[in-house]
Amino acid sequence: MATDKATELLIVVTSFASLEDAKCVARQLIEARLAACVQIQEGMYSIYRWEGKICEEREVLLSAKTITNKWLDVANFIKSHHPYDLPEVIAYSPEQYEEQYGKWVQAEVK
């Protein structure tokens, strides 16, 4: 799909310790028109090092569908509403996506 770089589809990912926290942030992202769709997946297991200690936790994965020019707004929103001291906030742009879906995402976040 050929689009303006600013309106290309972007998927922003973060994780939470609880489904309730993930659902709360997901609803707020939708209400603020920062994302068109947010998917939440339970059952993720994370192993990481934090403050010199190896940690193992169950987490919930949140994926927000938005557009490139909303990246900073979405990232800042997640950081300011996230219970973690240092939340994972990463984004990727799919190389290919269905044109009508891309247009729907654009319309929902404008």
Please state the domain extents for the chain.
Answer: 7-108
Q: Which of 2, 5, 1 is nearest to 70 (CA)?
A: 5
**Could you tell me the fold of the domain covering 7-108?**
Alpha-Beta Plaits (3.30.70)
pLDDT at 3: 54
- The model carries a pTM of 0.92
- Each residue of 43-97: pLDDT tens digit? 999 999 999 999 999 999 999 999 999 999 999 999 999 999 999 999 999 999 9
- Each residue of 24-48: pLDDT tens digit? 999 999 999 999 999 999 999 999 9
pLDDT at 1: 46
Tokens linked to 99: 């044109």
